[in-house]
Amino acid sequence: MNIATAIRFAGLSIACSLFVFCMTGFITLLTGSLTVAAVELYSLLCAAASTAVFLTLRSGDSRYTDPSKKILLAALVFVVGGGLWIAFVSVQNISHPEPVLLPVVGAVVAGIGALINGSFGKTMQNMSDAQTPSLLVANAARLLTAGYVSIAAAIALLLINRTQLYRLDAVVALAIVLFTSWQAWKVTRTSAS
């Protein structure tokens, strides 16, 4: 894959991640689901990482540039802050569960997010070759993982709809936040080297 195509793919991955972020943000407000909020948080991390990759590729460098590192640091602050809030509320909801409104709507939106991020990440992986920048390959894997996270959220929301087991929303949200924190750590560590 040549550098111009890689830059286009990085730009499109920003658009995909931001679209899923906005869509899940709206549905979080509508449903009150912590699981959907956790998917939103992961989408924010993907958008920031995609932006960093885009800026780095445009600069012609193969390692993260200073502006990209600043974007990743700012996103890390939001991911940590949002993750702590979701974790705190999740722990509270495990002992005192709150109902999730319209879990099927949340599941459909999570499914759409899985389709968008997963298919785009898979397309990026399939088009990669020996000349594809390693940052873009890692970004494709992150988007594919975002698809898997969204699938897990959709399944959890469908189970909640079926069983009315509202604690599941908090447990799955907590798991996604822990996973997102681990991914944020990996991205930050990569950008520092």
Q: What is the pLDDT of residues 143-170, one digit of tens each?
A: 888 899 999 999 999 999 999 999 999 9
Amino acid at 115: L
Q: Is the pLDDT assigned to residue 32 strictly greater than 70? A: yes
Share of the chain above pLDDT 70, in %: 95
Lowest pLDDT segment from 46-50, 54-58, 171-175:
54-58
What does the pLDDT read at residue 65? 66
Give yes or no for a contact between 117 and 146, defined as CB atoms under 8 angstroms apart.
yes
Q: From CA 149, how far away is CA 183, in angstroms rounded? A: 12
Alpha carbon distance, N-terminus to C-terminus of the chain? 24
What does the pLDDT read at residue 62? 62
Q: From CA 78, how far away is CA 72, in angstroms rounded? A: 10
Residue 191's pLDDT band, with cuts at 50, 70 and 90, is low
Residue 64's pLDDT band, with cuts at 50, 70 and 90, is low
Q: From CA 6, how far away is CA 176, in angstroms rounded? A: 29
Query: pLDDT tens, 176-187?
Result: 999 888 888 887
Amino acid at 180: T
What does the pLDDT read at residue 193? 63
Q: Is the pLDDT assigned to residue 121 strictly greater than 80? A: yes
Residue 28's nearest CA partner among 86, 115, 96 is: 86
Query: pLDDT tens, 88-111?
Result: 999 999 999 999 999 999 999 999
What does the pLDDT read at residue 61? 67
Q: Is the dihedral of CA 49, 132, 178, 12 positive or negative?
A: positive
Domains contained in the chain, CATH given: 3-192 (1.20.1510)
Give the mean pLDDT of 75-84: 85
Give the mean pLDDT of 77-85: 87
Residue 2's pLDDT band, with cuts at 50, 70 and 90, is confident
Q: From CA 104, how far away is CA 30, in angstroms rounded? A: 12
- Residue 176 phi/psi, 5-degree rounding, is -65, -40
161: tokens are 């709809």
